[in-house]
Structure 1
């Protein structure tokens, strides 16, 4: 157990130190959601209007509504970027050395997932602070704080596990951009990050509404949104945790060269 915890600590510290040297990474992670918050939220404020709908007890401006979705955007993009790092490490041979450590492969992958979640949460916290400075305040501190943390941590782990799973199938760095376009943008735009489900249903976009209903990212955002206001998130926690378990299991299976569909040893991983 001590050896396993030492490996976990080493992998997390490696990712944190690498991130600390990449100043532009934090800036790029914040620019995208802040543009939505400072520009698009201001422009669409009167288009979307305000509404009283769960979990809100009063009318809210649009920037308050999309803030949890923008936190989800930070978690989503960092989770996907972790798959890029995995592909890069595999091409450079670092993953081969790491996976030959005298520890179960699933534990090594869990350590990588933990490191991804820690970085995602750090970037999300930075976004919340900058959003607060811009005038968009989220009720993070209070009796609801444990539920907010549980929702944020679970969402970060789920999206990191999805990134792990994608890294099994992305063979080369050149294929990364195309694959991400088929994952990040559909997951984000076909969710409740930017507009509520009732808006989709009301507008007649039935197929988008149905996709958003079953999109795991929708439930990650809704869990965080409901947790902020100390309301019951319904089935969202179960869907997020179930997706996390499934993605991690499939990723661990894919990184097993004997059983996995990835067969990494055949491609030098």
Structure 2
């Protein structure tokens, strides 16, 4: 007797779930190993006075915090724009505008992040935090916008009809049926945007917005391998940490019935 299709799907899903859970345990451990390892290696070396001005606990903590703030601001802007816009573009009367806005977001994703930063700097003739945040938010917009639209498109029409049959208004159906079903897709897009944001935020030093890119740039310009390695490894560790937080969000923030 052949196994039921549902049983086969469950068998395939179990190894995937175990792999995801194992990753949730291993990834933060790897981050800790990277951070402790590179800082221990750097501080155990005989550093010059120039290196000590960059590789000290206060400066590293400051640059890391700046990088985190850049990432938070970028992702907040992406969420505030992409989720409401993606929701609107799935409503009757606005669907025909979806290709236009997705195309604009595609331009942002296709353009080099460094090019967007430079163009925004030339247009604004200023530097600082927001000059670094806004172009990268545009660069990171597409995954959340596209996944928000896809999430609503994947909602079964019968569920929407059932909600309307119970007397729900369109807004109530959106809030209680469509949006919860779209949340897993939105979270998947958010996770991608988080990784894009934390990676490209290393370029924000170009417009005096701070971040770990300062260590990388300093190490490269001075041919200082210690500073270069510390900056690069900390940036990688932060990206892994942000990706882990995104995985946690996907695992625990979606509707219970869909986890």
TM-score over 0.5 (shorter chain): no
Q: TM-score, normalised by structure 1?
A: 0.34
Q: TM-score, normalised by structure 2?
A: 0.35
Please tell me whether Structure 1 or Structure 2 has the larger radius of gyration of its CA atoms: 2
